[in-house]
Amino acid sequence: MADSNRLIFTMLGPRGSGKTSMLACMNRLFEDLLPGSFYPTDRKTYADLEDAYEILETEANSSKRQYNVKVLAGDSEIKRFDFTIKGKKDSIPVTFYDFPGGFISRNANEEDYNEVVNIVKKSAAVIVAIDTPYIMENDGEYIKYAAIRDIEQMLKKGLEDDKQEKLILLVPIKCEKYTETWDSRQALKVAVKHAFKSTLLMAESEQYKGRVAIAMLPIHTIGSVKFSRFNFLDGDKIEQVFMKKAGQRFKPEHTDQPLRYALSFLLEQFKRKREDSSWWDQFFDWLMNLFTSDNLPEISAYVRKGIKTTDDRFEIICGRKLLGL
């Protein structure tokens, strides 16, 4: 299969929002979600994500009461994580792109910025890491640090002139404090929808209606910590301080949900094979060959069985049909 038919996913979010951490947690889950079919293409990719996971775990389980939010490995270049999903007859090359958050900012170098635009354009699913404390604390007083306008601008450019279906997953990270009670979970949902109002309006517009699915999936990549306060530094900089929850150890939670939603979306597109001749067409023919009609329902059922749609923290905002749910 030509590399142009590679299945592409993109992590999107500002610096330090938790993209690499989320990917590191998801990396642990591929084997479970695609039993016997998941193969990391290069060991280095796999090892890098394993290292990132171990850093999270070590920091979370250390005896310090305070949890310091540090950017993992100080990412400064676009990274791609390549995997293969092996089926009965053929295999799917899959790539997750992970950007340094600075590449989507207004001050980014033009070349870096345009590269991100192109990758978002060719991605089937965009997984947005939302830096939740900036949206939630002090009624959104610090929301500018969550760089929502930059994310929305990138999503808009990535969807322009594009006929293919797309999945956008809004994933609040560092949200332990805001998912504890039913009330706080509702407040989180309202705040995220308010922050991404333009994107939601765009998805409902004539131009995109029916081909953009958006879901909100708050996840815990650490789980055992809780936002405590901001530290205000020189030059308008700000730092987040988290405290460990007494007696709790590293506990990623719901990190399988973005993956399950993304796979469910792909399987649904496959099932409803579209008329327009986007790259999907070739992809579907090829996927048909990979997952014979015998084992496709089995894979779909497996992926969907674990999807949480009734849990009050998750919400399919639009395009439920595209997800096959």
What residues line the site for ligand GTP (CB under 6 A)? 13, 15-21, 56, 69-72, 75, 100-101, 129, 173-174, 220-222, 225, 242
Q: Kindly tell me which of 23 and 212 has the beta carbon lying closer to ligand GTP.
A: 23
- The yes or no reply on residue 268 touching Mg ion (CB under 5 A) is no
Q: How far apart are CA 52 and CA 300, in angstroms?
A: 30
What number of helices (H) and strands (E) belong to the chain? 12, 11
CA distance 147 to 13: 8
State the minimum distance, in angstroms, from the CB of residue 312 to Mg ion.
30
Residue 84: closest CA among 36, 118, 123: 36
- What span, in angstroms and rounded, lies between the C-alpha atoms of 32 and 111? 37
Q: Work out how close the CB of 3 gets to ligand GTP at its nearest, in angstroms, rounded to a whole number.
A: 25
Binding at 179: pick from Mg ion, ligand GTP, none (beta carbon under 5-8 Å per type) = none
Q: Identify what 242 binds: Mg ion, ligand GTP, none; CB under 5 to 8 Å per kind.
A: ligand GTP
Residue 242 phi/psi, 5° resolution? -115, 150
Q: Smallest gap, in angstroms, from Cβ of residue 82 to ligand GTP?
A: 18
Backbone phi and psi for residue 306, each to the nearest 5 degrees, phi listed first: -90, 0
In the bound complex, which residue of the shown chain has the CB atom lying closest to ligand GTP? 101
Alpha carbon distance 288, 313 (integer Å)? 34
Q: How far is the CB of 141 from ligand GTP (least distance, A)?
A: 19
Site for Mg ion in 21-80 (CB under 5 A): 75
The verdict on 20 binding Mg ion (CB under 5 A) reads yes
Say which amino acid occupies 11.
M
- Give residues in contact with Mg ion (CB under 5 A): 19-20, 75
